[in-house]
Structure 1
């Protein structure tokens, strides 16, 4: 029988995550010291080169991770991080270079051999089967002996989930889980395999603070047992908290490797983006204009009676414990759900159907809700602005191409061409395509749900700048984020939600990370029940968005 003693039992709630280079570092209830490993190399990649259609995605890259250490891998979106790890797991075959695992040279590494060696990869976009149940996904990913004896199979599966703080019914279909729950399922599968090498690609991006703390605690325990961990992230605070060493890639080349304790954030940023990043957040509006956005009695499925207003040049933020109505609020504001109450933009009262047509919605789950993955970059960017490019009944292809390319260049999207399939882009560049679509649609209002999730520090600054420019132009901007430091730096006003209610509204000196977290965790409101009234009746699918 397989030993399941490593599994944890508590299932904590997912709380607001506080992060960022200047933010406080995550803490665990029983912190373990970081590794000071001097162990032998677990994985060594030497002189790795990988080309796609003649273009070098990796050029002569060296990378090593030792047993009993966390090695952070940093770089902007498209720098080659995921490509390098796909080589390390046998998904891609290198055009040149050598792979060594625990001292043994590997001629041809395949995914099957990688799994046999004990290499587990937690992808940024979870590799799950959405049409199947949670239990079926576990059974498909794990050897049958994990569920022996058969009479204890459901108990064992539940314990695997509890080990990462995932509290869902085993019969739930994976497509019905939230983004965060799907990521936790992916992480649970990896931990269950008891790997010798674990690769974590942006594992905390959609998670709340408690889930992050539990994940960090689990990773430390695995490292203490000798497991080697590669940790891919865009958050320097997490590097400081977790990693022993760090390697930086830029443009497919290795820019340096260092011990985390011996390199500053400024030096890391310079290596990552190749330039000085003077200000992460653009200046806030000094003299806001007239009121251009107002909600009164705004009520929908999962939230109730939201009342707030903002002025021209201001960005409105939405904060709170993950899963307390923020995403429902954002989707409803984008016209994807019906509502009761008043929504005014520029003095004009709008219905849900009008909001659907005139708003630009940046969903948190860009892979399933934000992009048409079978279309190319140009088609995805232009899909909401086709009327603008239409003469009589025909699309002016020349104008479409010109405007789309100008917007993609403004956002510094890295892609082989505008005709490349959007699925071939890195996660951060895919998010920029979603942003480009919003800009091209010339919306009445921009609703951005976790707009910088999985986006590198350079691109994040560009997104902040664009959101500020949009608000200064007179278009209301509403941003939901689980990163309290991000909301503090970006927004002029933040509403804090708890159980579907607004429990605090913050401006000026009160708009701080600490105040947001305090308001979220000390609220005593009761949950808003899911109703069957007029505002809960209509549900628009992601295909309906297009």
Structure 2
């Protein structure tokens, strides 16, 4: 409850109320009532939210005033992110009311929240990894907002990023950014909306000190203009620096609200954890300095760090400090055997390297979503996967032993999960981090490496993690912790090495181990990386440009063009009839039919789905046409036949899309149903080939200009139009956004269901175009034809570089992929090879393409 008078501690019962405050120069939406009290710009009243049988929120109320920074505290799983999900429209409450700017909002969605001036920076950024930084900004802000200032959109984007200290290039793929850069990008998107309410969910967790200072400046500036800021954090020091008021949640219920100056840290901690914490950090071992060495690193050099030497003695926890991005994460990955390095590493009396380190070490990555967890699996599976050898009896896995071990570790770490088989995605961020730690401990490692181990973890869980790391060190296992929180390293570690530009610049222990000494060592260092100052900027810029080109969507297009030209030159050298007009026309006609169908398959794959029904649909449409498009048929009958084909295609796409989005079929299952149904209908309509296609229609479709079919020119034009729309239109951005990260797209206001259903309709319309060409080539309604186009179209799309996981690809690449597939078929004839060579060539090309594209697009480890 908001106290009517300043109490010594926050009250823990009651409802929300307006708060008296001085009249300041606020925005228009920061209204005052007649008594001069500030009226909340956001009011949540008696909010209830359940997930299955778990009560996430039980009658929580919250008022947020214009121009204030309102801190929201609580343990992981207390309901903070759920409450803000309700406030931002990403979650719908089971009960309760939402009032924004005095307006009662019944059905708040991300779109309406944005329209009402609510912006949120999520704990796990709502970014689209397959899109570039610029495209992410366009999806979030729209063209109109980017042109408001009158400047060129890219210049506006650059200014938005610079304003929050994000150095990412506009053409960088977001999946390749570090965790900190993704958070800064998210912050730039939120501030660009000039919100009435700005919600920040753990914004400083991955940031270095410079970025944190800049963030604080932006938060204060936003509040000064009247923006209401809700600031979710686990760090009480940040509350003291920023917040005007503070609200505490525990177990999904409101525990109290008060002015920050009226409540002590001890009182806040008692409300947060429901008990009094005796100490955040466990006691250090005073005798560890004389203990035997358990880890020695001498002259270790790798990508991002140079000539690093350090020692850890039994019972010690070693910390690695420094400004984020100075080689700390890279060093940990090398010690874990995950990155190449050279130098000496000894565990106890044994030299270790490469695969040995990979087997001996347990690594806790900073980005738990990207590297730490398998998000589609359960808590049990995530925790046990590194220790399966402990749970086997002969060749079999003992479910009881696995469950007992995982349950015991979950209890020790106080993981809040209904059951070990609960999906890990349903856990809060801090509990997910505990699952990562549980996996590390269950593996019984000889070395523990923790990169930002308490990122996004509440104060109570943080103390538990510190105690566990200390206990592991006491058992003789070396523990190395990298953290951007110098206070954390001071309290936890026995020895700290400070890194700057990839070098160790200072070693601190004993009384010298203080936050001030760590920060000073990091910022005053004059050490440089191995590259010279003159060479580095130009080389780095050139290398980054090359990397972006290789990882871009058009790299496969260039590669395919080279392969097509090379193969064509080889065939021509073996058979000079290869480029005769008849062969050119025949090849291009085949490419046209396959090309249209493959363009449709590309649309499905861009959404993250697939359409197995394209082949049977093409055959079915030809069978339908065979009843109407015949010699001697009147023009209305011919037109009715084509119209019926188009309607049947559109209906098939609508059914496929609806099964995927509304009946919750997987794309494979939904389109496999259509595959079987369409094939059955084809044979029902025509048990055997029949229905000769009109010669006039066939001749019209086979019209050429020289050796080039007119329909091929149409295919090229359609491809270029689709490519332009994919890159420069809202439709293209939405399509790729859904395929890249559906939940992030939904948070950004993309209407996912209509986008996907419309995509499947477009797939079928493009298949209709291919079927029109196919009927000209077949000349008869044959129910057995068309089926093979399903796999062939997928082959063409994969060769063209479209990701099977969705989110990225090109229509131009698909067209070239279709050309290469037909060229391979044609090559077997001109080279005198048996038909099986066609399949061998296709299989080999697919394998090579998959390996090359995955290497080119392989996202770098965070921080590399």
Using the size of structure 2 for normalisation, the TM-score is 0.57
Structure 1 consecutive aligned stretches of length 4 or more whose deviation exceeds 2 Å: 35-39, 146-151, 528-531, 539-543
**Which residue of 2 is the match for residue 300 of structure 1?**
302
**C-alpha distance in structure 2 between counterparts of 1:218 and 1:261, whole Å:** 22
1:325 pairs, out of 315, 324, 327, with 327
**Which residue of 2 is the match for residue 8 of structure 1?**
none
CA contact (8 A) 2:316 2:474 kept: yes
Q: Deviations over 1:75-123 (max 9, x none)?
A: 0000000111111112222111111111122222222211110111100
**Which residue of 2 is the match for residue 68 of structure 1?**
67
**Which residue of 2 is the match for residue 83 of structure 1?**
82
- SS for the counterpart of 2:496 is strand
CA contact (8 A) 2:176 2:860 kept: no
2:509 pairs, out of 489, 507, 510, with 507
**Which residue of 2 is the match for residue 26 of structure 1?**
none
**Which residue of 1 is the match for residue 46 of structure 2?**
47
Structure 2 spans left out of the alignment, 5+ residues: 1-23, 540-854
**Which residue of 2 is the match for residue 145 of structure 1?**
144
**C-alpha distance in structure 2 between counterparts of 1:307 and 1:41, whole Å:** 56
Where do 1:28-47 residues align within 5 Å?
A: 38-47=37-46
**C-alpha distance in structure 1 between counterparts of 2:500 and 2:44, whole Å:** 47
Moved more, 149-158 or 184-193: 149-158
Q: Deviations over 1:451-476 (max 9, x none)?
A: 00110000000000000000000100
1:412 pairs, out of 404, 411, 414, with 414
Structure with the larger helix share: 2
Structure with the larger strand share: 1
- SS for the counterpart of 2:59 is strand
**Which residue of 1 is the match for residue 394 of structure 2?**
392
How many Å apart are 1:127 and its aligned residue?
A: 0.5
**Which residue of 2 is the match for residue 178 of structure 1?**
178
Structure 1 spans left out of the alignment, 5+ residues: 1-32, 532-538
CA contact (8 A) 2:176 2:859 kept: no
**Which residue of 2 is the match for residue 428 of structure 1?**
430
How many Å apart are 1:241 and its aligned residue?
A: 0.7
Moved more, 436-445 or 350-359: 350-359
1:341 pairs, out of 330, 338, 343, with 343
CA contact (8 A) 1:319 1:484 kept: yes
Q: Does 1:251 align with 2:251?
A: yes
Q: Deviations over 1:468-498 (max 9, x none)?
A: 0000001000000001111011000000101
**C-alpha distance in structure 2 between counterparts of 1:326 and 1:496, whole Å:** 9
**C-alpha distance in structure 2 between counterparts of 1:325 and 1:475, whole Å:** 23
**Which residue of 1 is the match for residue 191 of structure 2?**
191
Q: Does 1:371 align with 2:341?
A: no
**C-alpha distance in structure 2 between counterparts of 1:275 and 1:369, whole Å:** 34
**C-alpha distance in structure 2 between counterparts of 1:164 and 1:492, whole Å:** 35
Q: Does 1:241 align with 2:254?
A: no
**Which residue of 1 is the match for residue 617 of structure 2?**
none
How many Å apart are 1:310 and its aligned residue?
A: 1.4
**C-alpha distance in structure 2 between counterparts of 1:528 and 1:131, whole Å:** 32
**C-alpha distance in structure 1 between counterparts of 2:249 and 2:70, whole Å:** 13
Q: Deviations over 1:30-66 (max 9, x none)?
A: xxx9x99952111111111111113211111111101
**C-alpha distance in structure 2 between counterparts of 1:329 and 1:523, whole Å:** 19
**Which residue of 2 is the match for residue 56 of structure 1?**
55
**Which residue of 1 is the match for residue 220 of structure 2?**
220
**C-alpha distance in structure 1 between counterparts of 2:431 and 2:67, whole Å:** 33
- Name the Cα RMSD after superposition: 1.9
**Which residue of 2 is the match for residue 154 of structure 1?**
154
Q: Deviations over 1:135-182 (max 9, x none)?
A: 011111112112328971111110010110111211111111111011
**Which residue of 2 is the match for residue 356 of structure 1?**
358
- SS for the counterpart of 1:383 is helix
Q: Does 1:204 align with 2:204?
A: yes
How many Å apart are 1:427 and its aligned residue?
A: 0.4
CA contact (8 A) 2:175 2:859 kept: no
**C-alpha distance in structure 2 between counterparts of 1:147 and 1:485, whole Å:** 40
Number of paired residues? Answer: 503
1:469 to 1:542, Cα distance in 2 relative to 1, 3 A = farther
**C-alpha distance in structure 2 between counterparts of 1:542 and 1:285, whole Å:** 38
**Which residue of 2 is the match for residue 113 of structure 1?**
112
